[in-house]
Structure 1
Amino acid sequence: MSQSMTMLFAFLESSGFWAPFVFLLFHSIRQFLFIPVAVLCVIGGILFGTILGTIYSLTGLTISCILFYFLYQSMPKLFNKIHRMKDKWIGNRLSFTPGQIALLRCIPFMQYNLLSLILLERKKNLFSYTKQSFLTNIPVAVLYTLFGQSISRLSPTLIIIILCSMTIMFYMLREKQIYMKWKEFFPEKAA
């Protein structure tokens, strides 16, 4: 995998004027090539700098989400595996807020398309889904573009502090709902 990422980096670097367009293309087809989001954002930060790398990564991630939307609308049975993963990991009752989805997208081992599916179930039409996708992609694009190069040099203590603070933020951003069954609310009278 390291060799293929090196080849990707070299290819993008040698693209010259076309590098931003090739970078956006890689972001768009990233999910089919099994390239992690974090890797492309880090490469964008190295090649284009912080500001342009963030803009290109954010644009590419949003294009990727729009592509996911159209593929899901046209071939819903193809996404049964993602639905099964969602049912297994999350269940049907739990729903995430956009803030929670934005935080989960920053975690490298979270399945990006699973989070896109959760967002798609919250926002059914294209405009609101695209808007929420754009907003939830901002933290991941900024985080990995800014700190992607130095993430491997962080101390284990700092990594634990970051994960704990993200867990606390995840809990604080939750949707506050109470599910109560009919029998719990209206208990049956003893005979």
Structure 2
Amino acid sequence: MNNKIARILLLALVIAGITLAVIYRESFDTMALEAWVKDAGAAGPILFMLIYALGTVFFLPGSVLTLAGGALFGPVLGTFYNLTGATIGATLAFLVARYLASNWVEHKAGGRLKQLKEGVEGEGWRFVAFVRLVPLFPFNLLNYALGLTRIKLPHYLIASYLCMLPGAMAYTYLGYAGREAVAGGSGVIQKGLLALALLALVAFLPRLIGRLRQKPMLSIPELKQRLDAAEDLLVLDVRSAEDFAGEQGHIARATNIPLEALPDRLAELGDYEERPIVLVCRTDRRSSQAAQLLARQGFADVHVARGGMTTWLSNGFPIER
């Protein structure tokens, strides 16, 4: 009974905090934050990290906090304070969600939700690292969502801290450069260019991580063997509808989504975010482009069929038209 009351009180506190943060979001700005931190004197950094942590739990805009950290403490200490505050807040949200609802989700999750949850748990720290480097989902909401899985707390904490570092560095330096520009400090142009370079690097990370997450190409004989064994995989043909039904035909069980339409039809592949997808085209060029797209969108087990339908036909394997 006491445990149930504690959960209710904690849930009420979180809801109240989020509600207040939404109501007073417009009143929260860098000027007010800087005044609070400066008034705290030597305890300013601790107060800043505490505000950042609570802001993460209660859905305050992290960009405002990070820019303020750079302006207040400079690029080095600012990065440390921003990253530490964000990680503490992310961990608190993770633990709150785990305490409040993880057992309930464990027993109630079924179907597609269960498959997704098990896939995330299977990747563990690798999934945490990926979503920190490639922000596919809102940061504050993601912290709570990950708390509903069985990902180990140390793995979550370490992967979060390390993989949020590039973004923290870029936005902290941007805040620092902005303060220097306003104050008329020396080397403003160089600092501004460096800030832009860091932001460009962070923007390039999704493409880089997408390439790293791509699985090795799958040979056509191996694909045929896996299909004959009735493995649970999706053969996704990314040729045009005309080619899919044309001279080369297509592999039995294949699903046709042309490469050009793939970005708008990702929802159709929701059941396979953590299950194997084998991409097929005439050769393997369009398939490789599709693999990069899917990897950037968080699909974890994507393979390109080497040689595509051309190699499939040269092996004499059956087709449908």
- TM-score scaled by length of structure 2: 0.43
Aligned to 1:165: 204
Moved more, 27-36 or 159-168: 159-168
Instruction: Please state how far the C-alpha of 1:46 moved relative to its aligned partner.
Output: 1.0
Residues 42 and 148, structure 1, Cα contact 8 Å, conserved in 2? yes
* 2:46 aligned with 1:21: yes
- Residue 97 of structure 1 contacts residue 175 of structure 1 at CA under 8 Å; is this kept in 2? no
Correspondence list, 1:11-160, <5 A: 11-76=36-101, 92=116, 97-105=127-135, 110-116=137-143, 124-148=151-175
Residue in 2 that maps onto 1:4 = 28
Equivalent pair of 1:116/1:133 in contact (CA under 8 Å): no
Tell whether the 8 Å contact from 2:57 to 2:93 is kept in structure 1 after alignment: no
The whole-number CA distance in structure 2 between the counterparts of 1:7 and 1:118 is 31
Where does residue 299 of structure 2 map in the other structure? none
CA contact (8 A) 2:67 2:171 kept: yes
Q: Return the alpha-carbon distance in structure 2 between the equivalents of residues 122 and 26 of structure 1.
A: 26
Amino acid at match of 1:4: F
Inter-partner Cα distance in structure 2 for 1:17 and 1:163: 32
Change (3 A) 1:27 1:182: closer
Q: Deviations over 1:12-51 (max 9, x none)?
A: 2222111111101111101344322222111111111111
Gaps of 5+ in 1: 81-86
Identity of aligned residues (%): 25
Q: Give the superposed CA RMSD.
A: 4.3
Could you tell me whether the CA contact under 8 Å between 2:74 and 2:176 is conserved in 1?
no
Instruction: Tell me how many residue pairs correspond in the alignment.
Output: 173
Scaled by the length of structure 1, what TM-score is found? Answer: 0.67
CA change 1:18–1:169 in 2 (3 A) is same
* Bigger Cα displacement from structure 2, 33-42 vs 95-104: 95-104
Does the C-alpha gap of structure 1 residues 183 and 135 become closer, same or farther in structure 2, counting only changes over 3 Å?
Answer: closer
CA distance in structure 1 between the partners assigned to 2:76 and 2:203 by the alignment? 28
- The C-alpha deviation readout for 1:82-118, integer Å capped at 9, x for no partner, is xxxxx99xx938867445323234x8xx510344356
* 1:173 aligned partner, one-letter code: L
Q: Which of 1 and 2 has higher RCO (CA within 8 Å, sep 6+)?
A: 1
Q: Displacement of 1:183 after TM fit?
A: 9.0
Alpha-carbon distance in structure 2 between the residues aligned to 1:62 and 1:159: 21
Q: Distance in 2 between matches of 1:159 and 1:50?
A: 12
- Flag structure 2 segments of 5+ consecutive residues without an equivalent: 1-24, 106-111, 121-125, 179-191, 219-230, 236-250, 254-321
Does residue 181 in structure 1 map to residue 208 in structure 2? Answer: no
The alpha-carbon deviation at position 167 of structure 1 amounts to: 4.0
Do 1:102 and 1:139's aligned partners in 2 also have CA atoms closer than 8 Å?
Answer: no
Q: Comparing both structures, which one devotes a greater share of its residues to strand?
A: 2
CA contact 2:94–2:145 (8 Å) conserved in 1: no
Distance 1:102-1:124 versus aligned 2 partners, 3 A rule: closer
The structure with the greater share of residues assigned to helix is: 1
In the superposition, relative to structure 1, how do residues 123 and 174 fare at CA in structure 2: closer, same or farther (>3 Å)? farther
Q: 1:182 and 1:65, CA in 2 relative to 1: closer, same or farther beyond 3 A?
A: closer
